[in-house]
């Protein structure tokens, strides 16, 4: 047990859960045993911040100790598989089933039991997004503010929303203010996962956009051919957009929950979702239809359906990635 004057530590394990607080001797022993790696996220009571274990002075000496020379000389990068790909492999090995009715029922139960909290959490994020959109209507400066919000602030807030709802789902103590915790825990990775995902989707849709442009040009000389090209181009745009958007559904929660780097999060989400892409697509479509019903209910209904949909996606993530083997 650590004394009040001694530092205390917490770690994020390979299962994405927090362990601790533990004292210095214990975490050093875990590092020597390989249970804590250099990139393991560690919370230090002296700073109140999360950082890689290798950046903590008392642990750096453990990681810098010479290791036994291997029989061969593999590169450092090949010493261990990437944790995100390990997770994807583990999920694919045990596989999963998209249980539409069960997941929707779990999402509803979660929302109903935590209605005030989920409404507050989600609408902190949504209200700020709507406010940025309103500012965006201001000529010149408004567009700059909205662009900065969409690229830098909004992804971190969405990651924070995922983090808070997942912690609440697991019965962990968490408050509404923790929505902003992403600015300390995964600021850069949340921005990058959102930015790279958008660039990949645009790049995949670009060939279809070229075909649409060719169709528009051809319309002047051959209307039938022009219409066919536009229809084909539209299909070539929509197909990759829908496919990749569904594949990357869980990239942001993997960043928020597992502290993954952006590319590992994208690849892990893509590999896992691709196994049952159509089922995940149908589930997403069903959930999104709830938002449509909220809009039809004099728009007021969306105040409830947006947070409800967030809860249903949280349940989907938990059933896919954190279900016991």
Q: Are 248 and 240 in contact (CB under 8 A)?
A: no
In the structure encoding, which two tokens stand for residue 216, read together? 């528009």
Q: What is the pLDDT, as a whole number, of residue 243?
A: 95
Chain segment 28-78, per-residue pLDDT in tens: 777 776 677 777 778 777 877 777 777 777 777 776 655 444 444 444 444
* 98 in the same domain as 33: no
Range in 29-43, 88-102, 208-222 the model is least confident about: 29-43
In the structure encoding, which two tokens stand for residue 223, read together? 């209307």
Place of tokens 């602030």: 153
How far is residue 166's CA from residue 311's CA, in Å, rounded to a whole number?
A: 9
* 108 in the same domain as 43: no
* 150 in the same domain as 231: yes
In the structure encoding, which two tokens stand for residue 274, read together? 């691709």
* 118 in the same domain as 22: no
Domain membership of residue 81 (yes or no) is: no
Domain membership of residue 73 (yes or no) is: no
Number of folded domains in the chain? Answer: 2
* 143 in the same domain as 40: no
**Percent of the chain clearing pLDDT 70 (strictly above):** 85
* 179 in the same domain as 109: yes
Domain membership of residue 5 (yes or no) is: yes
Give the length of the chain.
Answer: 325
Domain membership of residue 72 (yes or no) is: no
Q: Determine the structural domain holding residue 15 and report its residue range.
A: 1-66
* 291 in the same domain as 191: yes
How far is residue 236's CA from residue 210's CA, in Å, rounded to a whole number?
A: 10
CATH code at position 1: 3.30.1490.40
pTM of the model: 0.71
Domain membership of residue 80 (yes or no) is: no
* 91 in the same domain as 214: yes
In the structure encoding, which two tokens stand for residue 61, read together? 């000496």
Q: What is the pLDDT, as a whole number, of residue 188?
A: 93
Backbone angles phi and psi of 9, in degrees to 5: -135, 150
* 217 in the same domain as 95: yes
* 172 in the same domain as 27: no
Domain membership of residue 77 (yes or no) is: no
Q: What is the pLDDT, as a whole number, of residue 36?
A: 76
* 280 in the same domain as 217: yes
* 127 in the same domain as 271: yes
182-205 burial, b if ≥16 CB within 10 A, otherwise e? beebbeebbbbbbebbeebbeebb
Q: What is the pLDDT, as a whole number, of residue 241?
A: 94
CA-only gyration radius of the chain, Å: 23
């Amino acid at each position: 047990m650590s004394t009040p004057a001694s530092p205390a530590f917490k770690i994020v394990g390979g299962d994405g859960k927090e362990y601790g607080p533990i004292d210095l001797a214990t975490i050093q022993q875990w590092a020597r045993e390989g249970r804590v790696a250099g990139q393991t996220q560690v919370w230090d009571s002296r700073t109140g911040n999360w950082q890689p274990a290798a950046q903590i002075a008392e642990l750096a000496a453990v990681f810098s100790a010479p290791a036994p020379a291997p029989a061969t000389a593999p590169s450092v990068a090949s010493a261990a598989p990437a944790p995100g790909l390990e997770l994807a492999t583990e999920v694919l090995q045990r596989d999963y089933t998209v249980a539409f009715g069960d997941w929707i029922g779990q999402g509803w139960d979660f929302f109903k039991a935590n209605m005030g909290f989920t409404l507050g959490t989600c609408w902190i994020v949504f209200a700020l997004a709507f406010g940025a959109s309103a500012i965006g209507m201001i000529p010149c400066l408004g567009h700059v503010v909205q662009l900065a919000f969409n690229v830098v602030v909004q992804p971190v807030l969405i990651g924070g929303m995922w983090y808070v709802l997942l912690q609440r789902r697991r019965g962990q103590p968490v408050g509404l203010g923790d929505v902003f915790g992403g600015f300390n825990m995964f600021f850069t990775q949340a921005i990058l996962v959102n930015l790279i995902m958008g660039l990949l989707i645009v790049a995949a849709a670009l060939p279809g956009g070229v075909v649409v442009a060719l169709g528009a040009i051809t319309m002047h000389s051959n209307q039938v051919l022009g219409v066919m090209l536009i229809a084909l181009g539209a299909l070539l745009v929509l197909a990759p957009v829908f496919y990749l958007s569904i594949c990357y559904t869980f990239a942001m929660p993997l960043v928020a929950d597992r502290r993954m780097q952006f590319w590992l999060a994208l690849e892990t989400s893509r590999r896992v979702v691709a196994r049952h892409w159509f089922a995940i697509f149908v589930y997403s479509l069903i959930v999104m239809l709830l938002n449509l019903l909220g809009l039809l209910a004099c728009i007021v209904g969306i105040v409830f359906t947006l947070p409800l949909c967030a809860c249903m996606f949280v349940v989907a993530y938990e059933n896919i990635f954190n279900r016991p083997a």
